[in-house]
């Protein structure tokens, strides 16, 4: 199939035009859709095709004379692999069925106050989605960013879009230009080992943590951890997919998914959109009774296992080439 184009996007990438536009595997990008051949193993690259974002809105398609089924949408890249989110509706689930579950031996936890921001400060609530966070400006029970001098990670009086524009914050305005740019450039999470965004275990790398932790939880109990159990047993119908190929996202993976530059492109590819206003569980623990999440205000947070139901969507890694 010839590749129709409308020009270049803001990232210098060719913008596809048409229906079911097949993208060369080497040229796959954020928001592009991964299809898997009917009945075939998705872990074999030759069974996959990448279709340009915005050029398909169906669950299946006839491509290169074969039937292919929508497998997921690319939301990032790591270690030479595509990070893929399942194109199914979010499930609203508890992380655990009790407040004090029996947890798998050896699984680590990452406490609050250690998340590293781009300004070099550490805190618990760090910015993951600029658009959502920039509009969440007055709620008093959630700590908000510091003033323009960045003398501490947070201040007791929330800095809002209005106070940012005041004469008292002239230095901030001079350096960052706008409230949104201030949020994006300084308070965006900067993943680092030893934090919930750089979660690792002995011999387990950051990009392997989600799969590892989900398998640990599911192996401990097939019922006690609903969010992880759902992802561990998920498989794409009509393909050769199998349980165990998908997992509950880590905070590293949620940060890649929810960052504004990725979020909007991912929703171009998805049939079942993700919302930056929905809180989402990660697989990373903060204590014996709590787990980390993306909060609906665009920031990171952690909550009790069994007290709230958050959105859950399986993710995976695919070797495309």
pLDDT tens for each residue of 167-176: 666 777 787 7
CB-based contact 36:69 (threshold 8 Å): yes
d(CA 287, CA 282): 13
Q: Assign 153 a pLDDT band (cuts: 50, 70, 90).
A: very low
Please check the confidence at residue 230 and state whether its pLDDT lies above 70: yes
Other beta carbons within 10 angstroms of residue 67's beta carbon come to: 13
Mean pLDDT of 186-204: 90
Mean of pLDDT over the chain: 87
Cβ proximity of 109 and 286 under 8 Å: yes
pLDDT (tens digit per residue) in 56-102: 999 999 988 899 999 999 999 999 999 999 999 999 999 999 999 99
| pTM for this prediction | 0.88
User: 31 burial class (0-12, 13-18, 19+ CB within 10 angstroms)?
Assistant: buried
Mean pLDDT of all residues in 177-202: 86
Tens digit of pLDDT for each residue in 248-272? 999 999 999 999 999 999 999 999 9
Q: Decide: helix, strand or coil at residue 84.
A: strand
* pLDDT at site 1: 36
* % of the chain with per-residue pLDDT over 70: 84
Instruction: Give the pLDDT mean for 25-36.
Output: 96
């Amino acid at each position: 199939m010839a590749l129709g184009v409308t020009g270049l996007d803001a990232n210098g990438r060719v913008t596809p035009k048409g229906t079911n536009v097949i993208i060369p595997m080497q040229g796959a990008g954020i928001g592009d859709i991964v299809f898997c051949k009917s009945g075939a193993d998705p872990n074999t690259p030759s069974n996959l095709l990448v279709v340009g974002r915005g050029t398909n809105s169906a669950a299946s398609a006839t491509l290169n004379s074969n039937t292919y089924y929508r497998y997921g949408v690319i939301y990032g890249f790591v270690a030479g692999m595509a990070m893929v989110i399942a194109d199914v509706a979010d499930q609203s689930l508890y992380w655990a069925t009790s407040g004090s579950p029996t947890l798998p031996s050896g699984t680590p936890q990452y406490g609050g106050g250690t998340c590293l921001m781009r300004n070099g400060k550490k805190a618990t609530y760090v910015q993951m989605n600029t658009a959502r966070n920039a509009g969440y400006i007055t709620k008093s029970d959630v700590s908000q960013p510091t003033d323009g001098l960045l003398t501490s990670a947070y201040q007791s009086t929330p800095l809002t879009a209005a106070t940012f524009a005041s004469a008292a914050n002239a230095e901030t305005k001079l350096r960052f230009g706008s409230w949104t740019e201030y949020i994006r450039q300084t308070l965006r999470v900067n993943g680092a080992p030893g934090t919930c965004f750089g979660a690792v275990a002995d011999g387990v790398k950051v990009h392997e943590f989600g799969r590892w932790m989900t398998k640990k939880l599911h192996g401990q109990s097939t019922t006690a951890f609903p969010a992880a159990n759902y992802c561990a047993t998920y498989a794409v119908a009509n393909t050769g997919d199998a349980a165990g190929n998908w997992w509950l996202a880590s905070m590293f993976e949620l940060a890649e998914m929810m960052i504004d530059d990725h979020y909007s492109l991912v929703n171009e590819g998805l049939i079942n959109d993700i919302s930056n206003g929905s809180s989402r569980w990660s697989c990373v623990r903060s204590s014996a009774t709590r787990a980390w999440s993306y909060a609906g205000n665009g920031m990171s947070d952690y909550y009790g296992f069994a007290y709230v139901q958050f959105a859950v969507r399986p993710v995976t890694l695919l070797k495309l080439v």
